[in-house]
Structure 1
Amino acid sequence: MANDLSQLSFFTESYPPYNYRESHELKGIAVDLLLAAVSKVDDRLDPNSIQLVPWARGYKLTLSGVNTVLFSTTRTPFREPMFEWVGPIATTRVVLFAPTAKQLKIANIADIKKHMIGTIRDDIGEQAVLNMGVPRTQIMQAHNAHSLLYMLQRERIDMWAYEEFVGRWLIKRAAIKIDEFEAVYTLKESELYYAFSLDSDPKLRALLQLGVDRVKANIQENGLSEYQNILSKYQ
């Protein structure tokens, strides 16, 4: 079955530390896990074939097929029937970030609706606030997380809906003191997966799932699994 997985088109976005580009090279927890999983089933995948695209574009391409994979994708009841799933990659928590100096107190959905929220179109953060009934008039979209962080700093938005680990990574990389922003509300706790288009071959999904399972089960000399060693590189 060599090279079977190369039949698939893989899309990802800039979502560090899970997937991102640095010095013209794709890196991250999800990228490392994908390549390790492929190697565990004696298959091949050229890292250069993975396309880094804006989230909304990758989401649309994977919804419409053909033989596409999008990662890292939060698995939710809303998305469940839209894709086939391989993973999980990691646990995830989507939150609302706000400037610590504002001392915002968010106790319920009614509190959220009082504020302007920054999101990325079709991102899990946006879907979460929309599912809560937040009107679109209270949502300001941006193409990427860096733009949302900029908007939050300049008070163009009150809160930013995003994955917590990724948000804190971006704040640190922007040379901003991490205590300048705080998570004021948890929108969703879930897991990240490789999301396959519905037309994808179930044999290929099963092959990659087998590889992921083998990476997580592979205990190395330091007593940690290969997967735990991948995680430790980005913590």
Structure 2
Amino acid sequence: MHYRLMLCSCMLLTLISVKSHAEAIEVVTEDSLYAYLREGELVGPGTRIADETLKGAGISDYRMLLYPWARAYEKALHEPNVMIFPLDRTPAREQMFKWVGEIHRATTKLYKLRERDGIAVDNLEDAKQYSIGVVRNDTKQVYLQQKGFTRLVISADNHDNFQKLLNHQVQLLPMPENTARLMSKDAQVDFTSLEEVFSLDEQPHRVHMAFSLSTPDEIVTRAQRAFAQLKASGEVDRIMTQER
């Protein structure tokens, strides 16, 4: 009887262990050039890359959800079995996530409205005199704060941030060009109404997919291998260069 009890206990522990490793993966992202809603469906190059990576890793039980960036980031920081993209890989974040792979790289630029005269930036120090819109918990917010910027206006997402520029609530926005074009398109304004005033060459966007730290290593390893194969085949670059 004692042996049977021990056997049942071992079997129960095994079942609990298997169940914990088989929990669904939650893929979280923000509204951006990598993921967006179209006719009620979440689409975009980042979603396609995440789909192909997880399927290649033999992971079929997952769901993809759109959140404000700060909420997506918090979930990936604190919850198990969470994949997040697009996430800039920085030294400060290196030990905070389990990294899958780089899906894109771009240079951040400071933009103003072309109609607004008197805004001139010859170096990063010049930009400190202007109000700058940033998204909460985004690397651009962290970078500018570390550089001593104090006139930062924080928004929940890219669209709210961009609207502040159009409404003259901020004077500058830091964005890669492809994001600036996407935001202009979504806001139904001509991209030429924006003017680049400075390029943050020392702070390139190294956009990655990553898992939360409490995600099992076995899942992460499978995803890393699948992504590496996808990248080597040229499929990641092909997906990213397709137009929205």
1:193-204 → structure 2 map (5 Å cutoff): 193-204=208-219
1:9 matched to 2:10? The reply is no
**What is the aligned partner in structure 1 of residue 140 from structure 2?**
125
**Structure-2 residue corresponding to 1:54:** 68
* Partner-residue secondary structure (3-state), 2:95: helix
Match of 2:153 in 1: 140
Post-superposition Cα deviations, 1:91-139, rounded to whole Å, max 9, x if no partner, equal 122222211233532122321110011111111221121121102xx11
Q: 2:224 aligns with which of 197, 209, 219?
A: 209
Q: Which amino acid aligns with 2:46?
A: A
SS in structure 2 of the partner of residue 59 of structure 1: helix
Aligned to 1:86: 100
Matched residues, percent identical?
Answer: 24
Determine the C-alpha separation between the residues in 1 that align with 2:30 and 2:197. 25
Query: TM (normalized to structure 2)?
Result: 0.83
Which residue identity lines up with residue 213 of structure 1 in the other structure? A
Change over 3 Å in CA distance of 1:162–1:45 after alignment to 2: farther
Could you tell me which runs of 5 or more consecutive residues in structure 2 were left unpaired when the two chains were aligned: 1-20
Aligned mate of 1:158, from 146, 156, 171: 171
Distance 1:164 1:5, change over 3 A: farther
1:232 matched to 2:241: yes
> In 2, Cα distance between the equivalents of 1:10 and 1:227?
18
Q: What secondary structure sits across from 2:129 in the alignment?
A: coil
Name the residue aligned to 1:25: 41
CA displacement at 1:193 relative to structure 2: 0.7
Q: Which has the larger radius of gyration?
A: 2
Give the Å deviation of 1:6.
6.0
The superposition leaves residues 163-207 of structure 1 with CA deviations (integer Å, 9 ceiling, x where unpaired) of 332222111232211111123223321311112211221221111
Letter of the 1:124 counterpart: T
Checking the alignment, whether the CA contact within 8 Å between 2:23 and 2:81 is kept in structure 1 is no
Q: What is the Cα deviation at residue 45 of structure 1? A: 4.5
In the alignment, the residues of structure 1 paired with residue 73 and residue 214 of structure 2 have an alpha-carbon distance, to the nearest angstrom, of: 15
User: Deviation of residue 58 (structure 1)?
Assistant: 1.0
Report how far residue 54 of structure 1 moved: 0.6
Measured in 2, the distance between the counterparts of 1:45 and 1:8 equals 6
CA distance in 2, matches of 1:25, 1:64: 27
Structure 1 segments of 4 or more deviating over 6 A?
none
RMSD, matched Cα = 2.1
Q: Which residue of 2 aligns with 1:175?
A: 188
TM-score (norm 1): 0.86
Q: Find the residue that maps to 2:184 and give its secondary structure.
A: helix
Distance 1:23 1:79, change over 3 A: same
Q: Which residue of 2 aligns with 1:222?
A: none
Unaligned 5+ runs, structure 1: 219-224
Q: Which residue of 2 is the match for residue 98 of structure 1?
A: 112
8 Å CA contact 2:105–2:206 kept in 1: the answer is: yes
Question: How far off its partner does 1:65 sit?
Answer: 2.2
